[in-house]
Structure formats: structure tokens, C-alpha cells
A = this chain, B = another copy of it.
Amino acid sequence: MSAPGMPADIAVDLSVDLCGIRLRNPVLAASGTFGFGREMAEVFPLSSLGGIVSKGITLLPRRGNPPPRVAETASGMLNSVGLQNPGIEAFLREELPFMVAQGCAVAVNIAGAGAEEYEALVERLDRTPVDLIEVNLSCPNVREGCMAFGATARGVESLVSRIRPRTRKPLAIKLTPQADSISETARAAESAGADAVSLVNTLLGMAIDIETRRPVLANNVGGLSGPAILPVALRMVHEVAGTVRIPVIGMGGIQTGQDAIAFLLAGATAIQVGTATLINPTACQDVVNEIASWMRAHSVPTVRSLIGDLRLNP
């Protein structure tokens, strides 16, 4: 950050258009690491973000998996929360009004055990002030549904086709890195009418306590997130952005503005910050500020000019 570039007080334009939603900046708080925004709203004003994504919501309340639900790994963590959530009705009643009042875009992350549950969730959300529905086809922590759809192009295509007619809200399909080929599942989502794809969700992993000879997680396996997975996520975002025309929401291990810019260059229109918030509660806001400083230092007036501007080596 030595070269001065633009004066520190000059405004840089961080706004992006994400399938018709104008975001103040491309930084969203990822699902599952930001609750419903209540706790973090005490830490910094959420209006400084592009948007927030709710914890995954199901039709009925879910208890989630038994603890332990977390294992630390090298530069990452495994979680097996298992979609603990109050169910859509309690969410709409108790949480959404608060989220909407924060002054940034609001996405609701949904998960279902079968196509019918996804349909019902999407219908229920259609007449709410939600800006974007993020359809989680990639949760590794529940036995039913979810990942089963997300693992193959055919599964994604059939599910998205069923939910598409039920809402006019923009749909972002959240893809799993465990898919046969993530470009194919992304293409399937696009052709079935998705407005965007979100990637990546966590990678299925395991940690073992060699003293007890048991997995650390009560659920035996969990989802790997954090900087450890960044190179894999970045490669997938680049691959998918080169394949589909709908916007890509990139995530996986982003901790800094620099990381976020790498995802933008790789082709993401917006990015999400997940696990970083667990270590640094102000991570999302810091990423926004670091993107802005970097743009000033490099005389980049608009964040849009970064999107997809990666030049491949010959």
C-alpha cells in the first residue's frame, strides 16, 4: 500500500448490481456465521455492508445436531450445526423485521429435506420484504435432502425448475464443492432459471480425537470452511464465472479486502465473508474498508471494473 494513488478522501464507487438488487458494496455476511444480524448490529452498523444472509431456514424449527459441533483445523474449522433454526414462521415474525430495518440488502438462506419443502419456503418468502432467496443445495450436515440435490446437475436442474415458478424474488442457488462438476451444476441452475449462483459451501471433512479414537464432532463429519479452502473456492468461482452468464456470489475463506478482490477478479459480482466473522467480529466491515483503501491506493474508481478482470497466463 505504498504508492499513494488517489487521495484518501476521494470517494470510490463500491456499488454493484446483483441480479437487479443494487448493493452498496459487494460484501455480504455469509449464512450461518452472522446469525440474523442481531449480535453483530451491536458491533458495527450493518448498513455499512452490501447485505446480510440469514442462517439457513427450514419450514419447521430444527434443533440441529448434538454437540460438539465444531473442530478446529489448520487455518480452518469443521462445523456440524445441522441447520438449527426457529423455522420459517418464527423467522418471519421475530427476525426478518429486524434484518430489514438494518438498511442493507437482506437474503434468506433456505434448506429443505425435499423439493416440497423448498417449494413451500419459496412461496412463503414471495410476499415478504426479502431481497434475495439463497437456496442452499449444499449443506453437508443434514442427512436428508439438500446435498443430494446439489451433488448432480440433474438434481439442481430439477429442484430449481420446481421452485422457480413459485416466486418472483431473485433466486441464488448455493452450490456444493462436492458436486461432480461445479460448472455443470452451475449451468444447470442457470438453465432452470436461477438469477445467481453462490459458491462455495463447506467441504465435507472429518477430525479425529486419537485419544478417544472417535471423531471430534458428534455428527462424525462436518463442513470445512475458512482460509484453508480459499484456493479451491477461488478456482471454482473462476471456473463457474467462465461458464454461466448469471452473476456469481463468491465465498470461501475470505478474510481481507485483498482476498475479496481476488474473488472479484476471478469473476464474482459479490462476495460473502463467513468464518472470518467468528475470529474477527468486524471482519465484514473491515473487508469493505480494505477494498475501498486498495481501490484508492490503486486509483481504481469503481469496484465493477474489477469483476472478472483476471488475465490468465498464456
Would A313 and B213 count as touching, CB distance under 8 A? no
**Contact of A271 with B by CB under 8 A:** no
A206-238, CB under 8 A of B: which get 1 and which 0? 111010111101111100101111111011001
Of B76, B213, B261, which is within 8 A of A309 by CB?
B213
Residues of B within 8 A of A10 (CB): none
CB nearest neighbor in B for A264: B210
Residues of B within 8 A of A158 (CB): none
Of B220, B229, B230, which is within 8 A of A313 by CB?
B220
Residues of B within 8 A of A235 (CB): 204-206, 221
Q: How many protomers of this protein does the assembly include?
A: 2
**Contact of A262 with B by CB under 8 A:** yes
Interface size, chain A (Cβ < 8 Å): 46
CB nearest neighbor in B for A262: B208
Contacts from A to B (Cβ < 8 Å): 71, 73-76, 78, 180, 203-208, 210, 212-215, 217-221, 224, 226-232, 234-235, 238, 253, 258, 261-262, 265-266, 294, 309-313
Give me 13 other A-B pairs in contact (C-beta within 8 A), A206-B235, A208-B265, A220-B312 excluded.
A73-B227, A74-B228, A74-B230, A75-B227, A76-B228, A205-B235, A206-B231, A206-B238, A206-B266, A207-B231, A208-B266, A212-B311, A224-B231
